[in-house]
């Protein structure tokens, strides 16, 4: 099987017990029973879904899992990753390609579907080693206004003709917010999609703040488009079970209390739990010790450091001071004069600007009761240990 990030993810003896940085499946995927069920029902009954969470919590992994449980004769799944789409044109090409691909079993059918449903498209085909199953086709068209709508109507047409439902899953959906004249495009999408009966959409993306604006702000076209699922953290109980079991499966041991510490340090952020557990596992001879954990935390900070430097190097001193206040336990009441002066935050009016700019950078988020928290627990740890109190 394929190495992912240098880590083997197959089920042989040399399989890595923990996986991070890529979507997870099989034994490295844990829990998410409720969300899996809810998403499965939405797919089955054609409910549009929006999936929101902080970064690297497990959106892509969850959707992939539900897709593999659902894809079949009654429901077909078309998947698009909009990450590399820079324009409406790119998006429409990916959309057409994904829909035709999802609804064709063989390449002859592929071509047939493309011809019947999309006469203006030119298929570009390249073959791999096995020409019957191993091929890649992309569709390209000559841009014109009517064609965009034709393409958007495509899944409904195919679904009707073939008598099944289609779910279109679009990852990194926030990309369309960057297209030129994006709001007009979003209006177009929404107006076509909301009338479709046999097709539903699952939209998700890694930029939490933009996703929230697109779907929760009533002046945006996608306001109230569907069921918004906030992906919650996996419970400590499930993580501890998972971590201990993965150690045991490879002939090593870890106590529940150290597994719990892993959860606390990472605030149960999925990717970090796996990454920290991985470093602990690497260091562990036989049974994980507190020392192994301390070593692993440093390893984790080392490996994140380049990214954290990049995320913080352009921040103004006011912005850094604001982060420092949060890290030292201030979560509300930033405009109080004691807080303003202790952390050198400038005027009360400055606070509004700081909150806005740091929220847009996805560095902070507002949680219940207007409390402000850092988005990334390990960035927070890094700032605390290596920036604000270096020794
Ligand atoms: N159900 C799960 N069980 C165990 N680990 C998980 C689970 N979901 C996610 N993870 C961990 O989190 C990492 C990121 O997962 P994934 O790519 O699915 O998240 P994402 O929310 O789509 O991330 P992004 O915001 O970057 O798009 C995985 O590599 C894995 O380490
Ligand atoms: Mg993702």
Distance (angstroms) between ligand 1 centre and the Cα of 1 equals 20
Report pLDDT for 391.
62
Give the Cα separation of 262 and 246 in Å (integer).
14
Helix and strand numbers (H, E) in the chain are 15, 11
pLDDT digits (tens, 9 = 90+) for 126-169: 666 665 555 566 767 655 555 788 889 989 988 998 899 999 99
- DSSP code per residue over 264-330: HHHTT-HHHHHHHHHHHHHH-SSB--HHHHHHHHHHHHHHHHHHHHHHHTT--HHHHHHHHHHHTT-
pLDDT in tens, 270-321: 999 999 999 999 999 999 999 999 999 999 999 999 999 999 999 999 999 9
Q: State phi, psi for 287 to the nearest 5 degrees.
A: -125, 130
- Distances in Å between the Cα of 314 and the Cα atoms of 209, 308, 311, 362, 386 are 19, 11, 7, 14, 17
Q: Token pair of 10, please?
A: 């197959």
pLDDT of residue 218: 93
- Any residues with Cβ below 6 Å from ligand 1, and which? 19-24, 28-32, 53, 55-61, 206, 270-271, 274
CA distance 179 to 229: 25
Quick one: tokens of 3? 């190495």
What residues flank ion ligand 2 with Cβ within 5 A?
59-60
C-alpha 95/C-alpha 2 separation (Å) is 27
CB 254 within 8 A of CB 3: no
**Which atom in ligand 1 lies closest to the alpha carbon of residue 19?**
31
Report the nearest-CA residue for atom 2 of ligand 1: 29
Q: How far apart are CA 24 and CA 18, in angstroms?
A: 9
Q: At what angle are helices 33-45 and 59-70 packed, to 10 degrees?
A: 50
What is the overall mean pLDDT for the chain? 88
pTM: 0.87
CA 250 to CA 108: how far, in whole Å?
Answer: 46
Residue that is written with structure tokens 């049974």 in the block: 287
């Amino acid at each position: 099987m394929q190495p992912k990030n240098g880590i083997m993810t197959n089920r042989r003896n040399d399989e890595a017990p923990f996986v991070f940085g890529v979507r997870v499946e099989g034994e490295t995927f844990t829990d998410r029973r409720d969300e899996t069920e809810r998403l499965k029902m939405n797919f089955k009954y054609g409910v549009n879904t929006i999936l929101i969470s902080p970064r690297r919590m497990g959106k892509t992994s969850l959707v992939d899992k539900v897709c593999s449980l659902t894809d079949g004769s009654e429901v077909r799944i078309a998947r698009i990753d909009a990450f590399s789409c820079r324009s409406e044109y790119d998006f429409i090409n990916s959309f057409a390609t994904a829909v035709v691909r999802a609804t064709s079993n063989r390449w002859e059918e592929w071509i047939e579907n493309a011809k019947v449903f999309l006469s203006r498209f030119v298929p570009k085909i390249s073959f791999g080693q096995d020409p019957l199953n191993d091929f890649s086709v992309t569709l390209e068209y000559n841009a014109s206004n009517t064609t965009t709508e034709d393409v958007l109507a495509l899944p409904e047409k195919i679904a009707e003709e073939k008598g099944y439902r289609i779910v279109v899953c679009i990852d990194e959906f926030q990309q369309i917010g960057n297209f030129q004249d994006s709001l007009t495009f979003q209006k177009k999408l929404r107006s076509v999609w909301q009338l479709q009966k046999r097709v539903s959409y699952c939209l998700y993306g890694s930029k939490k703040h933009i996703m929230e604006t697109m779907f929760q702000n009533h002046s945006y076209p996608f306001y109230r488009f569907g069921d918004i699922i906030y992906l919650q953290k996996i419970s400590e109980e499930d993580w501890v079970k998972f971590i201990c079991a993965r150690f045991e499966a490879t002939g090593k041991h870890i106590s529940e209390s150290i597994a719990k510490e892993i959860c606390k340090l990472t605030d149960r952020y999925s990717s970090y739990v796996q990454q920290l557990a991985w470093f602990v596992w690497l260091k562990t001879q036989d049974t994980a010790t507190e020392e192994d954990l301390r070593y692993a935390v440093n390893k984790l900070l080392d490996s994140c450091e380049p990214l954290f430097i990049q995320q913080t190097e352009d921040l103004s001193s006011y912005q850094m001071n604001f982060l420092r206040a949060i890290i030292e336990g201030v979560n509300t009441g930033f405009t109080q004069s004691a807080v303003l002066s202790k952390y050198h935050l400038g005027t009360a009016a400055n606070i509004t600007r700081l909150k806005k700019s740091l929220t847009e950078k996805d560095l902070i988020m507002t949680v219940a009761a207007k409390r402000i928290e850092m988005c990334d627990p390990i960035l927070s740890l890094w700032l605390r240990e290596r920036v604000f109190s270096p020794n």
